[in-house]
Structure 1
Amino acid sequence: MQTYIFDKTNDTDIAFYQIRERLITLLRSRFTTYGYKQIQTPTFEPYDLYTTVNGTIKLDEMIKVIDNSGKVLVMRPDVTIPITQQIASKYKHLSKEIRYFYVTDVFRQTPDESNNKERTQAGIEYFGNNSPEADAEVLSLAVHLLKDLHLTNFTLEIGHAGFTKELISELALSDQDLKQFKQLIQAKNTNGIKLFLADLSIDPKLRYAIENIPLLYGEADDVIKRAKEIAYNDSMVNKLQNLEEVCTVIQAYGCKQHIVIDLGLINHMDYYSDIIFQGFTENVGKPILMGGRYDKLATQFNASIPAIGFACDIEALLDSTKNHTKSYQPPIDVDIYYETDEQEYGLTIANELREQNYRVLTFPIPEANKHESAQCTLYLTRNNSTLYQQNKSWSFTDIEKLNQILQEVKERI
């Protein structure tokens, strides 16, 4: 990743890279506990894959290359679409559930991040189940994940793509006007929405409903109740009932305190059809997690497969955990210096500590002044074995005693 390219003048790059890898390991572990298996998609994909799929990212945001046969390829701009294509190529219908997770780079050239075309995403895709229980489980996983990162002040904002789309579709707007109107809703610009609708000849009930979309934000029971009062048809009522059922299961998971409903939530990926959500935490000005249900995406590959998923932005997660980096510190460093006669003893200790996942370097004692000090330093001489950590020192006679000392040191760091 560009943020973590090694700079020989700045050793903090290496420290942040280690923190990043520990964070990714934690994410992999949590995905696995929910039954997900890792998958990978190609870095270079056919350009046609994205030009023929509705609701994908903007074509001018893709990074295009030409292979030696003259075929246009793109560097992976999205993960959900190629995974869905893989599933749809094998199954037209699913009689079982399939759960995949990924940790991979995506490549986009967006105007607001022109200097950062490569970002790492970690996420999940859950195929074959469109029940409220499946939606709630995915949301619970997202909450569980953010708790693993020791984030206490985070929120999952949940909307319903189908509810908002159905209201807006009644306006019969052009593509350009639709884009502008969605931006007004996303910004919760109530005055702008009223001005936009002023020149349209529409049913007063529809006008009232659309003007109230930005206000449908807050605690689940209250928002759903108010939304039902402005629902324009039975289909919208059914979508709200589905959202209500999901919230009931979320409460059973014990996650309701982290959930708010935002029926004005709009995702830039138009392939989402039902529940959509975004994760936010303090001190980060953009979502750290985004996802939703996309039951109709597989139909573009001639299959009928319901699915839901989400992706985390690794760089945003790193920003959100700046005050919790202690949770991601790697095992402490140990440098071992030994006299020639103690070489076998020193290397034996080194292997013992490496088995316990310590990071260990070994040197003969004449090298002692040629290396920077580690967190802990062992000096092994014929007459004494000593561990140094900052201004403290401990003598030890065997590996058991050394382990006790290192455990004390770990608790202090």
Structure 2
Amino acid sequence: MYLYHNIENDLVINVEQIHARQKLIQKIKQRFATFGYQEIITSTFEQYDLYAKMNGTVNHQEMIKTIDNTGQVLVLRPDVTIPITQQIALHNNELREDLRYFYVQDVFRQAAETKDHRESTQAGVEYFGNPSPQADAEIIALAIQMLQDIQVNNFKIELGHAGFFKQLVTDMNLEKQDLSELKQYIQAKNVTEIEQFLNRLSVDSEVKKVVSTLPFLYGNPLEVILKANNLPLNDEMKNTLQNLKNIYDVLDAYGVVKNVVIDLSLINHMDYYSDMIFQGFIEKVGKPIIMGGRYNTLANQFHSNLPAIGFACDVNLLIEGIDNTTLPSIQPVDIVVTFNQQEEQQGLQLASKLRNENFTVLTYLDSQEKSRIPISTFSIHIKENENILIMKDKQLPFSNAEDVLSLLHRVKERR
């Protein structure tokens, strides 16, 4: 009996978690749809070559591989952006109209240093065809409104630019190993190691000044842009700052800049990002739950020219960081219909009509133990000489299904 009791409790908890998760995902989908994005899906299994032959994509050691019955190597979907871009590029060399898509799909990765694998759900959007700052700002504003919809109020969006760092290191002519080392120091904002690294290299003094300042180019967007513009930047880097300023101005028009900071040391692990990049953080989670940016050159690897931008949200991490009180709870049953054996047919037929009107309905015989009948918003008792609809402290008699539907709809309209 004790074992049964534990299993039953676990099942209840699991049902509640599943319900909360699905309600959360539905809210996210609704927000995506309000911005004009349409849902799209990709295959769970992808060709290994799709990722292996591309530059700057998923670490090959993190992909979970399998072999089909023809001997082809497949991978469980490690990324959604790449297959979506491939499909659009196969049918379009260029775009004459904007395309907006969203997805909620599982991705599969294996940590390179362990045998552990991780299945996580990503909710994301991809916007093809529009290279403007307005499109960049739309994506960030959408991410912010998505978080607000699910009552995540304490969050931070860090805005950066892949081009700023790329333009900077181009002037340094670093070897691959040195570049990787510098990226690690900058991502960790390790000022001491950055200075020691620069002292070992023959690097122009002006470039050194910019690189050593990178960890401090974080914070209020207008202040960071002003501070960066006072550094010895080349023309490309100045244009990059202006691009970020243009995006910020549109975000200001959206009214969402209070949650936005600029981080010019931001480096995304996906090398296919070409321009603006951003990531989102919430309390209780020590890594970004949202990552995205502009990837105008990704489609070039499929022989197409498609400017694009998007982001992905890790739903698993998002749920971990949300206070349980903000997660959607299971809604009570709309209606419980009870009847005795003689009125069973009438009760079941009434329940069917109510379900066809999108009410959640449970049915029970009067002889059922009262403790097993769940709490509901409304109760209906079918008796030999009287049918009663009960809501709170009111008892309303009715004669047929049409009468009770009229009563229920009137109550709904008053709410």
Same-fold status (TM-score > 0.5) = yes
Taking the aligned partners of 1:141 and 1:231, their CA distance within structure 2 comes to 35
Shift of 1:335: 3.6
Tell me the alpha carbon deviations over residues 326-357 of structure 1, each in whole angstroms, 9 at most, x when there is no partner.
Answer: 54544536443211233344335534543554
Taking the aligned partners of 1:123 and 1:300, their CA distance within structure 2 comes to 22
Summarize the Cα distance change of 1:384–1:352 in structure 2 as closer, same or farther, 3 Å threshold. same
> Does the 8 Å contact 1:36/1:100 carry over to 2?
yes
Partner of 2:3: none
Taking the aligned partners of 1:386 and 1:279, their CA distance within structure 2 comes to 53
Taking the aligned partners of 1:205 and 1:30, their CA distance within structure 2 comes to 46
Partner of 2:241: 240
Partner of 1:128: 129
Summarize the Cα distance change of 1:403–1:339 in structure 2 as closer, same or farther, 3 Å threshold. farther
Q: State how 1:1-400 maps to structure 2 within 5 Å.
A: 9-110=10-111, 115-325=116-326, 327=328, 329-330=330-331, 332=333, 334-351=335-352, 353-355=354-356, 357-366=358-367, 368-369=368-369, 372-376=372-376, 378-382=380-384, 395-398=395-398, 399=404
Tell me the alpha carbon deviations over residues 84-116 of structure 1, each in whole angstroms, 9 at most, x when there is no partner.
Answer: 111111111111111111111111112589655
Secondary structure at the counterpart of residue 230 of structure 1: coil
Taking the aligned partners of 1:204 and 1:116, their CA distance within structure 2 comes to 45
Taking the aligned partners of 2:384 and 2:321, their CA distance within structure 1 comes to 49
Q: Which amino acid aligns with 2:361?
A: V
Q: Which amino acid aligns with 2:200?
A: D
Secondary structure at the counterpart of residue 369 of structure 2: helix
Taking the aligned partners of 2:57 and 2:232, their CA distance within structure 1 comes to 28
Tell me the alpha carbon deviations over residues 172-205 of structure 1, each in whole angstroms, 9 at most, x when there is no partner.
Answer: 3333332222121111111121122221111111
Taking the aligned partners of 1:115 and 1:406, their CA distance within structure 2 comes to 50
Taking the aligned partners of 1:326 and 1:168, their CA distance within structure 2 comes to 44
What stretches of structure 2 of length at least 5 have no aligned partner?
1-6, 399-403
Shift of 1:286: 2.0
Larger mean Cα displacement after TM superposition, 353-362 or 35-44: 353-362
Summarize the Cα distance change of 1:324–1:293 in structure 2 as closer, same or farther, 3 Å threshold. farther
Larger mean Cα displacement after TM superposition, 130-139 or 163-172: 163-172
Taking the aligned partners of 2:333 and 2:24, their CA distance within structure 1 comes to 17
Q: Which amino acid aligns with 2:307?
A: P
Shift of 1:285: 2.0
Secondary structure at the counterpart of residue 151 of structure 2: coil
> Does the 8 Å contact 2:336/2:363 carry over to 1?
yes
Shift of 1:308: 0.1
Larger mean Cα displacement after TM superposition, 325-334 or 186-195: 325-334
Larger mean Cα displacement after TM superposition, 28-37 or 334-343: 334-343
Summarize the Cα distance change of 1:49–1:10 in structure 2 as closer, same or farther, 3 Å threshold. same
Shift of 1:40: 1.0
Taking the aligned partners of 2:381 and 2:176, their CA distance within structure 1 comes to 72
What stretches of structure 1 of length at least 5 have no aligned partner?
1-6
Secondary structure at the counterpart of residue 19 of structure 1: helix
Taking the aligned partners of 1:228 and 1:159, their CA distance within structure 2 comes to 15
Cα RMSD after superposing both structures: 2.6
> Does the 8 Å contact 1:334/1:374 carry over to 2?
no
Q: Which amino acid aligns with 1:294?
A: Y
> Does the 8 Å contact 1:44/1:74 carry over to 2?
yes
Summarize the Cα distance change of 1:272–1:319 in structure 2 as closer, same or farther, 3 Å threshold. same
Taking the aligned partners of 1:403 and 1:284, their CA distance within structure 2 comes to 44
Tell me the alpha carbon deviations over residues 1-53 of structure 1, each in whole angstroms, 9 at most, x when there is no partner.
Answer: xxxxxx76432111111111111111211111111111111111111110111
Secondary structure at the counterpart of residue 43 of structure 2: coil
Shift of 1:137: 1.0
Secondary structure at the counterpart of residue 99 of structure 1: strand
> Does the 8 Å contact 1:394/1:405 carry over to 2?
no
Taking the aligned partners of 1:182 and 1:217, their CA distance within structure 2 comes to 16
Summarize the Cα distance change of 1:188–1:80 in structure 2 as closer, same or farther, 3 Å threshold. same
Taking the aligned partners of 2:50 and 2:213, their CA distance within structure 1 comes to 38
User: How many pairs align?
Assistant: 400
Q: Once the two structures are aligned, what percentage of the paired residues are identical?
A: 46
> Does the 8 Å contact 1:331/1:357 carry over to 2?
no
